[in-house]
Amino acid sequence: MLFPSRTECMELLRQFDMPQNIRRHSLIVAEVALLLAGRLNQNGSRLDLELIEAAALLHDVGKMPSLKTREDHAVLGARMLEGIVAPAIASIVKEHISLASSQVAGPVTESLIVNYSDKRVKHDQVVLIEERYRDLIERYAKGPPQVQFLRDKLDLYVALERTIFSHLTIAPQGSEIMGITIDRIKGA
């Protein structure tokens, strides 16, 4: 199946009036996801890199409209993409903020790669998962129940990280990932 190219995805983001900061974030998420998926494929996985790239680039398409509607931006984004892109892309967009304990042991799917990669990018900078969650707690937790919810999610993402990296020869804090910057991405 053909998925939209990077150029086509960036044009879609422009058509949806995505601000530059979200486009930059999405480009970095796509680079992290492609690095991980490419390395996993070298070790025997069969992840669809075109699907991963398109879904990563479009994962936050619902972010700005959701600020007005107060809807879940992942669900809204998936709905916005229906009929425009392949259903597999919309499905990953819809799933990019949820993670269940049943998923962390694998198998590692395109959806999990995009989801995890999004959690590694704070604005347009690759960070460790713990730093990303410290930021989320500081910005969004309004009380102890929300702090605990986010800490529990962090534990799930740490477990997912272990699963992903158990198949790789690079580390989560390695220069291969931490060195991804917007300046190094072609066409950014």
**Is residue 145 assigned to a domain?**
yes
Per-residue pLDDT of the chain (188 residues; tens, 9 = 90+): 579 999 999 999 999 999 999 999 999 999 999 999 999 999 999 999 999 999 999 999 999 998 899 999 999 999 999 999 999 999 999 999 999 999 999 899 999 999 999 999 999 999 999 999 999 999 989 999 999 999 999 999 999 999 999 999 999 999 999 999 988 786 66
Q: Which two tokens stand for residue 51?
A: 């699907």
**Cα→Cα distances 63→52, 94, 174, Å:** 19, 12, 29
Cross-strand bridge partners of residue 122: 125
User: Phi and psi dihedrals of 107, rounded to 5?
Assistant: -70, 155
**Is residue 188 assigned to a domain?**
no
Q: For the chain, how many structural domains are there in total?
A: 1
Question: Which CATH number does the domain housing residue 83 bear?
Answer: 1.10.3210
**Is residue 177 assigned to a domain?**
yes
